Structure 1
Amino acid sequence: MLSVDDVLATRSGKAYDSDGDKIGSVGEVYLDDQTSQPAWVTVNTGLFGTSESFVPLEGARVEGEDLHLPYTKAKIKDAPRQDADKHLDVEQEEALYRYYGLSNGGTTHDGDRRDFDGRDAAAAGTAGTAG
């Protein structure tokens, strides 16, 4: 499981997909309300980083200032849009979990997700931003 400090260190770094392709820059970090652990991150995508996509941190890894995510670039770019400057409510978070093929406990149900190291980070409940 990634620590808050690990994920916050990536805020000046880049996000990469499961194939090693650059997606964009890391935006906001969202913590699980129940565990206070990092659960979601936004990635600035699109032309000139004009869009932000939510990505679950389950299975992600940090290398220096860069964040490597276990999803394809296309999957991340097509994620349902949510306001990145607000707290995720239960319905929004459930929609994102469904999109990424995860249950609220981090169980995968989707072939587009590629786990890097098999870690199982439970991310239940709603998520709020960190620092």
Structure 2
Amino acid sequence: MNAPLGDAPQSLTGLHVVDAEGTKVGKVQQVYRDDATNEPEWVTVRTGLFGMKETFIPLAGAQRSGDELHVPHAKATIKAAPRIDANGHLDPSEEAELYRHYGMTRPGGGGDEGDEPQ
């Protein structure tokens, strides 16, 4: 995974997420760590009408610039991500579904571990 370097996970919370085209998507709500490595792997951002949906975005390829977190995905792709409750733990099947949606493979080759918020 290529998470933003030098940042404690809690320092990502509140950053403005900017998509691959430079469009603001929303603010980082939660940071999820990989169970095996304890490294930040996912963030959630509020999307949808009135910000009622919390959507997962992988940190792979993300770069921090000031108060912005630039992700290599289009806003439409982010908004179309599978609906998964951001309420504590991301299980392996949910994580696999998200990686498929973003056209990615899980770093480290899969494993049975899920992710937990920081």
TM over 0.5: yes
Mapped contact 1:45–1:51 kept (Cα < 8 A): yes
Q: Which moved more, 1:43-52 or 1:1-10?
A: 1-10
Q: Distance in 2 between the 1:95 and 1:4 partners?
A: 28
How far 1:7 moved relative to its partner?
4.2
- Give the length in aligned residue pairs: 114
Classify 1:6/1:45 alpha carbon distance in 2 versus 1 (closer, same or farther; 3 Å): same
Q: How does the TM-score come out when normalised to structure 2?
A: 0.87
Q: Is residue 128 of structure 1 aligned with residue 116 of structure 2?
A: yes
Q: Which runs of 4+ in 1 moved over 2 A?
A: 1-8, 122-125
Identity within the alignment, %: 43
In the TM superposition, what whole-angstrom CA distance separates every residue of 1:9-52 from its partner, at most 9, and x where no partner exists? 23122111000100011110000011111100001112332111
1:28 counterpart residue number = 30
Alignment gaps of 5+ in structure 1: 106-121
Q: Secondary structure at the match of 1:27?
A: strand
For residues 88 and 4 of structure 1, the distance between their equivalents in structure 2, rounded to whole angstroms, comes to 24
Q: How does 1:57-68 map to 2 (within 5 A)?
A: 57-68=59-70
Distance across 2 between alignment mates of 1:84 and 1:7: 16
Gapped regions of structure 2 (runs ≥ 5): none
